[in-house]
Amino acid sequence: MVPSSFAVLNPQTQTTEALFGQPDVPVKVGISAGSIVIAGQRFSGEQIIILPDKPYIFNLDGDDYRGKLKLILNPDGNSFDIINVVPPEPYLAGVVGAEMPDYWEPAALAAQAIAARTYCLYIKEKFGSNRTWDVKRTAANQVYLGVSAESAQVWDAVNKTQGQVLVYKQDNNIEALFPAYYSSTCGGHTENSRQVFGDSFGSLVGVPCPYCKRVAKPSFFFWPMAQFDKTNVTDRLLKRYPKLKQLGDITSIRPDKQSKYGKFSRLTLVKLLGSTGKSDFLRAEDLRLTIDPTGRKFRSTICQIVSMGDKWAFVSGRGYGHGVGMCQCGAQAMARQGKTTEQILFYYYPGSKITRVY
């Protein structure tokens, strides 16, 4: 549904193929005999763009988004991909308000805006040219909820940092964007990206974080035991990593590498032993998100693994999320202490600097 009139364009020829003048009327978009059909009208192209008139908002399945909607017919002729084509700033407003409570300190919200802008432009630059889209709207990249995530505070954070991104100096002395990862609550120490995602950037190294404990509630900072049926764990792991099939049933999950931070440590690599006697290794973060894709129970890899009968239990857990880059609760705690956006970002992304790219 579009609250204004809208046009349907062919992106290849840039021609207007149809105009729809009636606002606020639900429009059914589907496929019939291999063609995209909008409100009963067939379009021959493999791609079409729905372009709303002012205020450039459309509603998809109940949620409002800004910008345009691109539909791309898949080769099977039976389905299509939907891509929201949106400029960076309105996109970021829909991310910042989804990733951080809008009542948090303005300095923390601005840090979030710069980190999210950096992350999205890096991903777009690195992967976007080989595919029809730049970033996913889920936590697989960063959460984007469109207009529903926006507020005056969120727009303020996005506008006052307009075009600002983080860069770091590569070995060849050239400054470059990097994937400015961030996560909810690091649990007391952030982690080197290499141990979690396997990539390596000078500004994505671990730093102590005495801050998040001051913002996250104790029941949140320390998470309760998470248990999973062993058969379920084996099923999920073998489905996600077919190379593990040679292990048979997973009979043992042992810490192999960890980052030690004094009183606690983060598992980074685990050794899996199987009923066939074979073994293999897996990054602890991959283990976590395979066993619990939402990450809501198995919240971080700062924990211990215990075998309890027919279940695996993850105990003594701290923090929430992968722990790489900015700790969001830590950013809020720093902002409450009066630290600036720059101080927050340079703390969590050591050696980085802020530059304006547009």
Write out the residues near Zn ion by the rule CB under 5 A: 186, 209, 212, 327, 330
Question: How far apart are CB 192 and Zn ion at their closest, in Å?
Answer: 15
Output 186 or 345, the one with its CB closest to Zn ion.
186
Output 119 or 211, the one with its CB closest to Zn ion.
211
Long-range Cβ contacts of 55-58 (<8 Å, 24+ apart)? 55/3, 55/4, 57/2, 57/3, 57/4, 57/147, 58/1, 58/2, 58/6
Question: How far apart are CB 176 and Zn ion at their closest, in Å?
Answer: 26
Q: Under a CB-based contact definition with an 8 Å cutoff, are residues 267 and 303 in contact?
A: yes
How far is residue 18's CA from residue 43's CA, in Å, rounded to a whole number?
9
Output 86 or 302, the one with its CB closest to Zn ion.
302
How far is residue 34's CA from residue 31's CA, in Å, rounded to a whole number?
6
In the numeric block, which tokens belong to residue 276?
């066939």
Output 131 or 217, the one with its CB closest to Zn ion.
217
Question: How far apart are CB 324 and Zn ion at their closest, in Å?
Answer: 11
Output 26 or 218, the one with its CB closest to Zn ion.
218
Sheet holding 164-169, edge to edge: 175-176, 164-169, 353-356
Distances from the Cα of 297 to the Cαs of 68, 87, 242, in angstroms? 36, 35, 25
Output 30 or 208, the one with its CB closest to Zn ion.
208
Question: How far apart are CB 121 and Zn ion at their closest, in Å?
Answer: 25
Radius of gyration of the chain (CA): 23
Give the pairing of strands 41-43 and 47-52: unpaired
How far is residue 72's CA from residue 48's CA, in Å, rounded to a whole number?
7
Packing angle, helices 106-127 and 341-348, rounded to 10: 50
Question: How far apart are CB 19 and Zn ion at their closest, in Å?
Answer: 52
Output 154 or 344, the one with its CB closest to Zn ion.
344
- Chain-centroid distance of CA 130 in Å reads 19
Question: How far apart are CB 5 and Zn ion at their closest, in Å?
Answer: 48
Question: How far apart are CB 319 and Zn ion at their closest, in Å?
Answer: 7
